[in-house]
Amino acid sequence: MIEKAKAFAAKAHQGQKRKNSSEDYVVHPIRVADLLKQAGFREVLICAGYLHDVVEDTSYTLKDIEREFGRDIRDLVAAHTEDKSKSWQERKQHTINTVREASLELKALIIADKLDNLRSLQQDIETYGNEVWKNFNAGPDAQRWYNQSIAAVMTNGLNPEEVPDYFCEYKHFVEQTFD
Protein backbone atom coordinates (compact mmCIF):
# COMPACT_ATOMS: atom_id res chain seq x y z
CA MET A 1 0.00 0.00 0.00
CA ILE A 2 2.89 2.39 0.74
CA GLU A 3 4.31 2.04 -2.78
CA LYS A 4 0.84 2.54 -4.24
CA ALA A 5 0.41 5.79 -2.24
CA LYS A 6 3.84 7.02 -3.34
CA ALA A 7 3.05 6.30 -6.99
CA PHE A 8 -0.37 7.95 -6.68
CA ALA A 9 1.20 11.09 -5.19
CA ALA A 10 3.82 11.18 -7.95
CA LYS A 11 1.12 10.95 -10.62
CA ALA A 12 -1.14 13.50 -8.90
CA HIS A 13 1.65 16.09 -8.44
CA GLN A 14 3.28 15.47 -11.84
CA GLY A 15 4.52 18.74 -13.33
CA GLN A 16 4.15 20.72 -10.09
CA LYS A 17 7.15 22.51 -8.59
CA ARG A 18 7.90 23.72 -5.06
CA LYS A 19 7.76 27.45 -4.25
CA ASN A 20 11.03 29.25 -4.97
CA SER A 21 12.41 26.11 -6.58
CA SER A 22 12.68 23.95 -9.65
CA GLU A 23 12.33 20.91 -7.37
CA ASP A 24 9.48 18.54 -8.25
CA TYR A 25 6.64 19.01 -5.77
CA VAL A 26 6.38 15.27 -5.04
CA VAL A 27 9.70 15.46 -3.18
CA HIS A 28 7.82 17.20 -0.35
CA PRO A 29 5.24 14.45 0.35
CA ILE A 30 7.99 11.86 0.00
CA ARG A 31 9.99 13.60 2.73
CA VAL A 32 6.86 13.90 4.92
CA ALA A 33 6.16 10.17 4.55
CA ASP A 34 9.82 9.37 5.28
CA LEU A 35 9.65 11.37 8.53
CA LEU A 36 6.58 9.41 9.59
CA LYS A 37 8.20 6.10 8.65
CA GLN A 38 11.42 6.94 10.55
CA ALA A 39 9.31 7.82 13.60
CA GLY A 40 7.76 4.34 13.49
CA PHE A 41 4.19 5.22 12.57
CA ARG A 42 1.83 2.70 10.97
CA GLU A 43 1.41 2.19 7.24
CA VAL A 44 -1.90 4.10 7.10
CA LEU A 45 -0.25 7.28 8.38
CA ILE A 46 2.77 6.91 6.08
CA CYS A 47 0.35 6.62 3.14
CA ALA A 48 -1.46 9.75 4.34
CA GLY A 49 1.95 11.46 4.38
CA TYR A 50 2.36 10.75 0.68
CA LEU A 51 -1.19 11.86 -0.06
CA HIS A 52 -1.62 14.82 2.30
CA ASP A 53 -1.58 17.53 -0.41
CA VAL A 54 -3.30 15.62 -3.22
CA VAL A 55 -6.84 16.87 -2.59
CA GLU A 56 -5.72 20.41 -1.76
CA ASP A 57 -3.39 20.88 -4.73
CA THR A 58 -4.63 18.60 -7.54
CA SER A 59 -7.87 17.60 -9.24
CA TYR A 60 -8.22 14.43 -7.15
CA THR A 61 -10.95 14.33 -4.50
CA LEU A 62 -11.44 12.73 -1.11
CA LYS A 63 -13.67 10.17 -2.86
CA ASP A 64 -10.69 9.22 -5.05
CA ILE A 65 -8.52 8.78 -1.96
CA GLU A 66 -11.15 6.67 -0.21
CA ARG A 67 -11.73 4.50 -3.28
CA GLU A 68 -8.02 3.82 -3.72
CA PHE A 69 -6.84 3.71 -0.09
CA GLY A 70 -9.79 3.31 2.27
CA ARG A 71 -11.59 5.40 4.85
CA ASP A 72 -8.79 5.69 7.45
CA ILE A 73 -6.37 7.28 4.99
CA ARG A 74 -9.15 9.41 3.52
CA ASP A 75 -10.04 10.71 7.00
CA LEU A 76 -6.42 11.65 7.76
CA VAL A 77 -6.05 13.44 4.42
CA ALA A 78 -9.42 15.18 4.91
CA ALA A 79 -8.47 16.41 8.39
CA HIS A 80 -5.25 17.90 6.97
CA THR A 81 -6.79 19.43 3.82
CA GLU A 82 -7.43 23.18 3.90
CA ASP A 83 -10.63 24.73 2.59
CA LYS A 84 -9.26 27.05 -0.09
CA SER A 85 -12.54 29.00 -0.19
CA LYS A 86 -11.59 30.52 3.18
CA SER A 87 -9.08 33.29 3.81
CA TRP A 88 -5.46 32.50 4.67
CA GLN A 89 -6.07 33.57 8.28
CA GLU A 90 -9.18 31.37 8.62
CA ARG A 91 -7.41 28.36 7.11
CA LYS A 92 -4.39 28.71 9.37
CA GLN A 93 -6.50 29.25 12.50
CA HIS A 94 -8.42 26.09 11.61
CA THR A 95 -5.13 24.17 11.36
CA ILE A 96 -3.97 25.52 14.73
CA ASN A 97 -7.28 24.46 16.31
CA THR A 98 -7.01 21.05 14.65
CA VAL A 99 -3.48 20.50 15.97
CA ARG A 100 -4.55 21.56 19.47
CA GLU A 101 -7.29 18.89 19.61
CA ALA A 102 -5.94 16.21 17.25
CA SER A 103 -4.94 12.62 17.85
CA LEU A 104 -1.23 11.79 17.97
CA GLU A 105 -1.35 10.52 14.38
CA LEU A 106 -2.97 13.63 12.96
CA LYS A 107 -0.58 15.86 14.92
CA ALA A 108 2.32 13.76 13.60
CA LEU A 109 1.14 14.17 10.00
CA ILE A 110 0.66 17.93 10.29
CA ILE A 111 3.95 18.55 12.12
CA ALA A 112 5.89 16.40 9.61
CA ASP A 113 4.42 18.57 6.84
CA LYS A 114 5.18 21.82 8.66
CA LEU A 115 8.73 20.71 9.51
CA ASP A 116 9.52 19.87 5.90
CA ASN A 117 8.06 23.20 4.80
CA LEU A 118 10.23 25.07 7.30
CA ARG A 119 13.35 23.18 6.30
CA SER A 120 12.72 24.23 2.70
CA LEU A 121 11.88 27.79 3.70
CA GLN A 122 15.09 28.14 5.66
CA GLN A 123 17.12 26.94 2.64
CA ASP A 124 15.23 29.38 0.42
CA ILE A 125 15.90 32.28 2.81
CA GLU A 126 19.61 31.42 2.78
CA THR A 127 19.56 31.39 -1.04
CA TYR A 128 17.19 34.24 -1.88
CA GLY A 129 16.90 36.31 1.30
CA ASN A 130 13.64 38.12 2.01
CA GLU A 131 12.58 37.82 -1.65
CA VAL A 132 11.11 34.40 -0.76
CA TRP A 133 8.16 36.05 1.00
CA LYS A 134 6.85 37.38 -2.33
CA ASN A 135 5.76 33.83 -3.22
CA PHE A 136 3.65 33.36 -0.08
CA ASN A 137 0.08 34.38 0.66
CA ALA A 138 1.27 35.89 3.94
CA GLY A 139 4.49 37.63 4.94
CA PRO A 140 7.02 36.79 7.64
CA ASP A 141 4.99 38.23 10.54
CA ALA A 142 1.92 36.15 9.71
CA GLN A 143 4.09 33.08 9.06
CA ARG A 144 5.77 33.63 12.45
CA TRP A 145 2.37 33.79 14.18
CA TYR A 146 1.20 30.64 12.41
CA ASN A 147 4.27 28.51 13.06
CA GLN A 148 4.71 29.69 16.65
CA SER A 149 1.04 28.92 17.30
CA ILE A 150 1.41 25.41 15.88
CA ALA A 151 4.51 24.81 18.00
CA ALA A 152 2.72 26.04 21.11
CA VAL A 153 -0.16 23.54 20.81
CA MET A 154 1.43 20.54 19.07
CA THR A 155 2.01 18.54 22.26
CA ASN A 156 -1.38 19.33 23.88
CA GLY A 157 -2.91 16.14 25.23
CA LEU A 158 0.22 14.04 24.64
CA ASN A 159 2.35 12.34 27.25
CA PRO A 160 6.02 13.33 26.91
CA GLU A 161 7.01 9.80 25.86
CA GLU A 162 4.50 9.93 22.96
CA VAL A 163 6.00 13.03 21.37
CA PRO A 164 8.02 12.17 18.25
CA ASP A 165 11.58 13.53 18.21
CA TYR A 166 10.92 15.60 15.11
CA PHE A 167 8.43 17.77 17.06
CA CYS A 168 11.47 19.18 18.90
CA GLU A 169 13.18 19.77 15.57
CA TYR A 170 10.11 21.66 14.34
CA LYS A 171 10.14 23.86 17.45
CA HIS A 172 13.85 24.54 16.87
CA PHE A 173 13.24 25.48 13.21
CA VAL A 174 10.40 27.81 14.23
CA GLU A 175 12.69 29.59 16.71
CA GLN A 176 15.60 29.68 14.26
CA THR A 177 13.53 30.93 11.33
CA PHE A 178 11.37 33.51 13.07
CA ASP A 179 13.29 34.79 16.12
CA dist 167 and 178 (Å) reads 16
Q: Report helix angle 2-12 to 43-51, nearest 10.
A: 10
Give 48's DSSP letter: H
pLDDT of residue 77: 97
Q: Which residue in the list 56, 66, 72, 105 is annotated as catalytic?
A: 56
Return the CATH superfamily for domain 2-178.
Hypothetical protein af1432 (1.10.3210.10)
Is residue 66 annotated as part of the catalytic site, yes or no?
A: no
Q: Summarize pLDDT for 32-66 with one digit per residue, the tens.
A: 999 999 999 999 999 999 999 999 999 999 999 99
State the average pLDDT over residues 96-114. 97
Q: Residue 20: its pLDDT value, please?
A: 67
Could you report the per-residue pLDDT of 144-177, keeping only the tens digit for each? Answer: 999 999 999 999 999 999 999 999 999 999 999 9
Residue 19: per-residue pLDDT: 74
pLDDT band at 101 (very low <50, low <70, confident <90, very high): very high
pLDDT of residue 84: 87
Given a contact cutoff of 8 angstroms between Cβ atoms, the answer to whether 52 and 41 are in contact is no
Q: Would you state the pLDDT for residue 126?
A: 87
Mean pLDDT calculated for residue range 115-142: 86
Judge whether 113 counts as a catalytic residue. Answer: no
| Residue 129 predicted with pLDDT over 80 | yes
Distance between CA atoms of residues 151 and 48, nearest Å: 21
Which whole number is the average pLDDT over 85-98? 95
Least confident stretch, 1-5, 18-22, 122-126, 147-151: 18-22
Terminal-residue alpha carbon distance, the chain: 41
pLDDT at 136: 79
Active-site hit among 34, 57, 66, 82: 57
Nearest to 167 by CA among 148, 146, 151, 147: 151
